[in-house]
Structure 1
Amino acid sequence: MKKRLGNPSLNSFTYNLTEEKRKQLCALLGNVELTLLYKASVHGYNASAFHQRCDRQGPTLLVAYNRSGYIFGGYTSVEYAQSGRDITDESAFLFSFQDVQRSNPLCIKINSGYTARYDDAGGPNFGQQLYFCYNNQPVVYNQSVNAFSSGSFSFSPATPFVYNQGGGAFTVNAATLYGNDTQLTECEVYKVEQNPQISAKVKPWRNVEWTAKRRDELMKMIRNYKPMMTSVSRVRILMIGPVGAGKSSFFNSINSIFMGRMTSKAMSGSAGTSLTTQFRTYPVKDGREGKPLPFVLCDTMGLEEQSGAGLDIEDISSILQGHVPDRYKFNPRTPFQPDEQKASKPASLQEKIHCVVYVIDATKISLMSDKLEEKLAAIRRKVNSLGIPQMVLMTKVDEACSLVEEDLQSIYVSSYIKTKVQEVSSRLGVPVSCVLPVKNYSQELELELNCDVLLLTALQQMLNFADDYLDDVCPVVDKPK
């Protein structure tokens, strides 16, 4: 039975997916809702029509139908953006209802170590193997059959088709997936969103106590924190990340919580190049007249993929070892050079960095360029060589997931945020337990409990990591009694 959707632009059209198969696909995706974005028979079997309706829509499910009654397609959790990049997506999969006797669809997961698709201006593809609306031609091309040279298929730009190169990211058998029937009768793309009613019943993948009592407990623990070494009065936490990821905003957010009002001490914004041009060390006071808290957040110039732009890796090495003074102005073309007197002796432990935090925008994880990923890998190697603990702050979670935008407490029941945490863990080489999703204050005028709990939880973990470092490097005689 065909159903109508609530999307106003598609109200006059029905979708082909039966209610039974919709439920089966939703079960694969973890309790979601599907909204029709694109219907090829209505909008056209061409890439431009697909991108016009499906770009920047978040996770999507493609469902194709052929003359033999096969219903098949694929899912990607990374939105289409015509970025021209290979997309890493461990959540991607292909599916097929190839057997009417089968109660559940066949699900083909992506093979380890492969990219899920290439994000360009062409039609949707999976693993650069299975192409839908390829050159607007009505064929399935299976490399093992060489359909093009056989002359078995006619070409018409008005007919939908699938192109299958074979091998690679997905283990595809054309006969199993779509019955070797190349001609499609329809192709639909659905937006995939978490169902808030169902998600409320799902067990969280991390436990958080969303109460004012918990916020007060976290603030008290941070106020009373004492570093593991008596010679270190305040631990130093270095924030590293791409331009616009939210390093300065995190400091402003933490400062706002302890000031009890919105503050904007560190320059932040959404410019294409780094607004931070100096190395800044930001202490945080416990209220306007309060004492400095036992930590310092160190802000750096944003990382950029181009050589000669953004923060230089050599500058980061100098910062880690405590040689760079507050307000030093970065020069991407010339790394920092300490004077001879300072270079001849190591900095004190008080001046060194005790924890490194990579700040990553949740909406841009899968679009991270190879060059930027290589820079982060080089930084991680340097940090590892110094034995400094590392963690990831995943920002803008509300922009990445509509469920979280509606209710921040849904962050740990969101399967999409969980996949983003797993993805950043894989790409940056840090354990999943060291990736903490947060929402910085950006446009709010008042403090919000849920934001505070997430931000303070992340800060408390940074202090714990700094303690681990100090506990490892300091002698027993220097530890507080």
Structure 2
Amino acid sequence: MQQQLGGLLGLPISSDLTKEQRKQLCDLLGNVDLSLLYKASVHGYKASIFHKRCDNEGPTLLVAYNRSGYIFGGYTSVHYAQSGQYLADNEAFLFTFQGKIPVYTKVNSGCYARHDSGGSPNFGGQLYFCYNNQPEVLIKKGTSFSFNAERLFGNDRDLTECEVYKVEQNLVTKEKPWRNISWTSIRREELMKMIRSYKPLVTSVSRARILMIGPVGAGKSSFFNSINSVFTGHVTNKAISGFAGTSVTTQFRTYPVKDGREGKPLPFVLCDTMGLEEQSGAGLDIEDISSILQGQIPDRYKFNPGAPFQPDEQKSSSPASLQEKIHCVVYVIDASKISLMSDKLEEKLALMRREINSLGIPQMVVMTKVDEACPHVEKDLYKIYLSSYIKSKVQEVSSRLGVPVSCVLPVKNYSQELELELNCDILLLTALQQMLRLVDDYLDDVESF
């Protein structure tokens, strides 16, 4: 009664979504705000009322609730207008909550997403909500969306509520980012799918080998732990990491990553080394880099800063296979300490870069600890590409290391967190995607040669 009275008087109407459910739906759509346009229990189930409140309002999210406790619905980026047309909308999807997480089904390629009639809201002309002005769902035959009614809403067609929200970009997105990136859980799934299905261009190479190089404490081991966390589904700490004054890593380690706790290995290996130190005779020896790049140093070899690796004569006479060599080098640099990098350390990096260049191996930079470098980013990681300070740090790294700006990717490793975070995952996966692209460039060049 209170809700109905509130609707009649134009007062704010409460949403049936919990705060967590609302956040999860916003994660599907990016950095957006949801404002309630229509609530069937308040405004009525009539199609005419739905259109009066929802037509020409831009992108909308429909959320339905049924007697079996299912929360489900759909999103369309094209506004309702009663045009009578069949509308295409590549952004449209259906969703249902499975536990705390909404699982989505996008519109099939080449199919229309809606019939924009004056009737009840529908998706693909297949799934109708508040059909015939009643609190019920109707399913018709169609090919626009591939869904299972049992999984989507328990095949319970009796609705207890239907809400429609206007989807608006958060005000912060009106600022122009200096690098475009999609901050949605859909994008996270797309990146993970791409990485899972990746195959090196050369058939003799089963997994891309990516070498991480960087100063002590920059976050090389933490980067591996973070990537491993994303694919495991929770925060992990497999590689030893810490904040010691000297390198925590003392061995050459090759870290495969599994797709899930008991899943198969993913098609890449992250190789970790000792941290770089400015003093001679400390940290990773420059002469060891060549042996690593050529695939001569075995896993778990313990570095000796005082003496470079010496391959045995039998192995050195026969070069390592392409499968064993390094296919991409990633410099891991602390964003908060770029300006403090000493001349000696920069000189060491320059010597390494020349050696890597001579072998034609592509290079990029992962810039870590962006949250420590910029207070705005610390408050909201989404603002990373709105931060002029982070942009200036990317340009500084590019200039000092001789790597193109497009190959400098800022990330935040998991360190204090107990649970995974969407924006953190997207930055990490985007960096890994760029590494695999560079591996393809290298292998394509090797094969053509």
- Name the TM-score, length of structure 1 as normaliser: 0.57
2:248 to 246, 261, 275: 275
Partners of 1:288 and 1:474 lie apart in 2 by 35
1:167-187 Cα deviation digits (max 9, x unpaired):
xxxxxxxxxxxxxxxxxxxxx
Which among 432, 436, 441 is matched to residue 459 of structure 1?
432
CA distance in 1, matches of 2:427, 2:283: 29
Whole-angstrom CA distance in 2 between matches of 1:364 and 1:290: 37
Please name the residue that 1:212 is paired with: 185
For residues 467 and 392 of structure 1, what CA distance do their matches in structure 2 show? 17
Aligned twin of 1:428 = 401
Share of identical aligned residues, percent? 83
The Cα of 1:226 is off from its aligned counterpart by 0.2
* SS of residue in 1 equivalent to 2:339: coil
Alpha-carbon separation, structure 2, partners of 1:417 and 1:366: 13
Q: Which amino acid aligns with 2:379?
A: E
Secondary structure at the residue paired with 1:464? helix
User: Are residues 1:321 and 2:294 paired?
Assistant: yes
AA aligned to 1:206 is: R
Equivalent position SS for 1:427: helix
Deviation at 1:318, TM superposition (A): 0.4
Q: Is 1:221 the equivalent of 2:194?
A: yes
> Which residue identity is paired with 1:391?
M
Alignment partners' CA distance in 1, 2:340 and 2:418: 31
Q: Distance in 1 between matches of 2:172 and 2:331?
A: 29
Mapped pair 1:339 → 2:294: no
Task: Name the SS of the counterpart of 2:252 in structure 1.
Answer: strand
Q: Equivalent of 1:442, from 400, 415, 421?
A: 415
**Match for 1:416: what amino acid?**
Y
Partners of 1:198 and 1:259 in 2: CA distance: 34
Contact 1:199 1:414 in 2 (8 A): no
Match of 2:442 in 1: 469
How far apart, in 2, do the equivalents of 1:206 and 1:278 lie? 36
Shift of 1:453: 0.3
Q: Secondary structure of the equivalent of 1:365?
A: helix
Q: Which amino acid in structure 1 is aligned with residue 309 of structure 2?
A: F
Residue of structure 2 aligned with 1:410, choices 369, 375, 383:
383
Question: How many Å separate the matches in 2 of 1:323 and 1:199?
Answer: 50
Letter in 2 for 1:452: D
**One of 337, 343, 346 as aligned partner of 1:364:** 337
Q: Does the residue aligned with 1:357 lie in a helix, a strand or coil?
A: strand
Aligned to 2:40: none
Q: Equivalent residue for 1:301?
A: 274
Superposition map of 1:361-400 within 5 A: 361-400=334-373
Q: Partner letter of residue 204 of structure 1?
A: P
Q: Distance in 1 between matches of 2:342 and 2:298?
A: 31
- Tell me the residue number matched to 2:263: 290
The separation in 1 between residues aligned to 2:288 and 2:348, in whole angstroms, is: 13
Per-residue CA deviation, residues 449-480 of structure 1 (Å, 9 max, x unaligned), is: 0000000000000000001000000259xxxx
Q: How far off is 1:201 after superposition?
A: 3.1
What's the CA shift string for 1:193-226, capped at 9, x where partnerless?
xxxx996532001011000000000000000000
State the alpha-carbon separation in 2 of the partners of residues 345 and 305 from structure 1. 34
Asked whether the equivalents of residues 358 and 393 of structure 1 are also in contact (C-alpha less than 8 Å), the reply is: yes
The DSSP-based 3-state class of the residue aligned with 2:409 is strand
Partner Cα distance (1:363, 1:284) in 2: 28
2: CA distance between counterparts of 1:247 and 1:217? 25
Please give the alpha-carbon distance, in whole angstroms, between the structure 1 residues aligned to 2:272 and 2:321.
20
After superposition, the C-alpha distances for 1:328-387 in whole angstroms (9 at most, x for unaligned) are 000000000000011101100000000000000000000000000000000000000000
Counting only pairs closer than 5 Å after superposition, residues 29-178 of structure 1 correspond to structure 2 as: none
Alignment partner of 1:262 is 2:235: yes
* Contact 1:377–1:428 (CA under 8 A) maintained in structure 2: yes
Structure with greater helix percent: 2
Unaligned runs of 5+ in 1: 1-196, 477-481
Q: What corresponds to 2:206 in structure 1?
A: 233
Deviation, 1:272, is: 0.5
**Secondary structure of residue in 2 paired with 1:474:** helix
Question: How high is the TM-score relative to the length of structure 2?
Answer: 0.62
Q: Tell me which stretches of 4 or more aligned residues in structure 1 moved more than 2 Å.
A: 197-201
Paired letter, 2:203: T
Measure the CA separation in 2 of the matches of 1:372 and 1:290. Answer: 40
Alpha-carbon offset, residue 288 of structure 1 = 1.3
Cα RMSD of the aligned pairs, angstroms, is 1.2
Q: Distance in 1 between matches of 2:378 and 2:369?
A: 9
- Distance, in Å, in 1 between the alignment partners of 2:193 and 2:340 is 39
Query: Counterparts of 1:261 and 1:366 in 2: how far apart (Å)?
Result: 33
Note if contact 1:278-1:300 (Cα within 8 Å) is conserved in structure 2.
yes
| In 2: Cα distance, 1:317 partner to 1:265 partner | 27
